[in-house]
């Protein structure tokens, strides 16, 4: 059996026999990407942060998935920003605990979109509450529908980082489904990828003994279309989780 990979979920209201019900959800693209790379996906529902250590002790790797916005209250941001959506305080607290525990254990982590933002905030960084409002000349990064399989964003990658070595490339074309981004980097984190509008698109941890990769785009969608860089990201993550 492949390594057990915990993947965080989000709350959405879905139809049920009791009417619209709050439900822990995850786009299937995540689980398929993990299975395709040889891992075994386990869905993690948001819960009391005190349960994070037990969970981390039982999985081989952690994927922090996309979703709604991180609450600006957690990083001293502007909670009145009109574009904010999907805030889940319980999810924020739970995922912050997962991030800190994973770092302490050196547990492999792949952080995608919101997940990358969560790591930055959990470790002491901040976010731009809305890219187009705060970064002059920025693109519209919030694609939807079939556009999530397009790759209009060109990301330049630092030649010396782990991601560049993994992809054997210093530039990659990616999708984009977000309106927030990293502002001030947390201590220990380094930006290693940037969009052509200056938005931080990839981060890594300075201590190489923690296998952490954060990407602002969505490789789980692109991997469904056979995108080689996206497949490589998941394959490398699963291999690391397998070998410890």
Q: Measured between alpha carbons, how far is 61 from 100 in angstroms, rounded to an integer?
A: 14
For residue 223, the tally of other CB atoms under 10 A from its CB is 24
113 is catalytic: yes
Q: Measured between alpha carbons, how far is 163 from 192 in angstroms, rounded to an integer?
A: 8
Torsion of CA 243, 206, 178, 6, to 10 degrees: 30
Please name every residue paired with 14 in a beta bridge, in sequence order, or none if there are none.
21
Q: For the chain, how are helix, strand and coil distributed in percent, rounded to 5?
A: 35, 25, 40
- Looking at 81, 129, 218, 235, which residue is catalytic? 218
- Looking at 95, 113, 178, 179, which residue is catalytic? 113
- Looking at 95, 129, 204, 220, which residue is catalytic? 220
How open is the CA angle 65-173-135, to the nearest 5 degrees? 75
220 is catalytic: yes
Which residues are the active-site residues? 113, 218, 220
């Amino acid at each position: 059996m492949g390594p057990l990979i915990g993947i965080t979920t989000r709350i959405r209201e879905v139809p049920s026999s009791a009417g619209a019900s709050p439900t822990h959800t995850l786009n299937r693209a995540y689980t398929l990407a993990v299975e395709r790379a040889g891992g075994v996906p386990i869905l993690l529902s948001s819960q009391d942060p005190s349960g994070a250590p037990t969970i981390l002790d039982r999985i081989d790797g952690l994927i922090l998935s996309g979703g709604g916005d991180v609450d600006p209250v957690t990083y001293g941001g502007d909670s009145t920003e009109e574009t904010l959506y999907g805030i889940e305080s319980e999810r924020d607290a739970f995922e912050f605990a997962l991030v800190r525990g994973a770092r302490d254990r050196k547990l492999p982590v792949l952080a995608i979109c919101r997940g990358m933002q969560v790591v930055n905030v959990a470790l002491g960084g901040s976010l731009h509450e809305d890219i187009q409002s705060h970064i002059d000349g920025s693109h519209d990064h919030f694609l939807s529908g079939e556009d999530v399989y397009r790759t209009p964003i060109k990301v330049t990658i630092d030649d010396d980082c782990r991601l560049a070595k993994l992809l054997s490339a210093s530039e990659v074309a990616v999708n984009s489904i977000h309106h927030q981004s990293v502002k001030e980097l947390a201590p220990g984190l380094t930006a290693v990828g940037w969009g052509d509008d200056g938005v931080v698109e990839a981060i890594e941890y300075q201590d190489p003994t923690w296998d952490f990769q954060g990407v602002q785009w969505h490789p789980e969608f692109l991997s469904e279309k056979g995108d080689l860089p996206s497949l490589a990201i998941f394959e490398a993550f699963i291999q690391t989780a397998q070998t410890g």
